Amino acid sequence: MGENSGETRKTGDILTSPSCWQYAVLLNRFNYPFELEKDLHLKGYHSLFQGSLPYYPKSMKCYLSRTPHRMPSERHRIGNLKKYYLLNAASLLPVLALELRDGEKVLDLCAGPGGKSIALLQCAYPGYLHCNEHDGLRLRWLRQTLESFIPQPLVNVIKVSELDGREMGDAQPETFDKVLVDAPCSNDRSWLFSSDSQNAACRISQRRNLPLLQIELLR
């Protein structure tokens, strides 16, 4: 009981502590930054989730600072794979819950800007990965993210589309082994800690319009 309680606290910290979950560094196994990993250890970063979740593939390496510290973002350069991806640590939880295995066919229904798709590919080698994003701006981010992190041989098993996610179940029935639905949300958790109170209030109020869309996507 005591061990489980400790595991719950570790995961709970990621969900509730803004100084913790906001600054995760996901290493790219397709261009592994060994020197950066050593540097992160020297700076006091620690490995995320390992030993505290039932499914955590060895190929996924994500580090978290014990203090509010943000790594600089890498610039997008055509033909060069980035070494790490900066993300909210909590966003890895649904990816890990999917328990992706090599060879499985998986759909990332609301994939933009691409962080969870990248995380899925750190976990396993899917037989087919369909990344869908209905929003045009987020679709451009998605394509650039995939180009920045995925080697050419893997591109052949990835499809990117701009379809209405609510129609994909009828269009492609019985196609996928697993589906990740990161449905559009008001992102209350981030806006609660925002210094822009006016924008935060506006975003939080938008939650009234989202439940129907979320239900339609899940259906």
Binding residues for S-adenosyl-L-methionine: 110-116, 133, 164, 182
Binding residues: 110-116, 133, 164, 182
Residue of 79, 47, 70, 101 lying closest to 149 (CA atoms): 79
CA distance 103 to 116: 18
Q: Which residues contact 181 (CB under 8 A, 6 or more apart)?
A: 109, 110, 165, 217, 218
Residue 120 tokens read as: 């899925």
E strands present in the chain = 24-27, 46-47, 62-64, 84-87, 105-108, 128-132, 158-161, 178-180
CB burial of residue 46 (10 Å; 0-12, 13-18, 19+): exposed
